[in-house]
Amino acid sequence: MTAETSNMAECPDCSGKVSKRAPQCPQCGCPLESIAAMRLDGKDGIVTERQLLVQIRESMRATMRLVMCSLFFTSVMLVVVLLIFWDIASWIDK
């Protein structure tokens, strides 16, 4: 990789060579700041607000599922324990 290719980026709109430090393409005016930030952040690009919301919603859903599961099992166990105690109590009464 030469110095030119590492400091120059290809404009997505006009395919012209643009400096990575340029805020926008001098040839067509395409904004490059967001594209440069996306490339710096990793293969999937910057995490957009929408993606963040989806991630939060997914984790919320997982947490809710866990809470509902534990609540369900707790209530089931409570009912089972109550039934056993009720059985024992009625058995003792006889």
Q: From the CB of 50, what's the least distance to Zn ion, in Å?
A: 26
- The residue among 15 and 70 lying less far from Zn ion, judged by its C-beta, is 15
Judged by CB under 5 A, which of 8, 13, 17, 45 binds Zn ion?
13
d(CA 23, CA 26): 9
Stretch that binds Zn ion, among 5-13, 36-44, 49-57, 83-91 (CB under 5 A): 5-13
Judged by CB under 5 A, which of 14, 60, 62, 67 binds Zn ion?
14
Amino acid at 35: I
Amino acid at 64: M
Residue closest to 31 by CA, chosen among 2, 11, 54? 11
d(CA 38, CA 79): 54
Judged by CB under 5 A, which of 17, 20, 22, 30 binds Zn ion?
30
Binding of residue 55 to Zn ion (CB under 5 A) = no
d(CA 89, CA 75): 21
Q: Which residues contribute to the site for Zn ion (CB under 5 A)? A: 11, 13-14, 16, 25, 27-28, 30
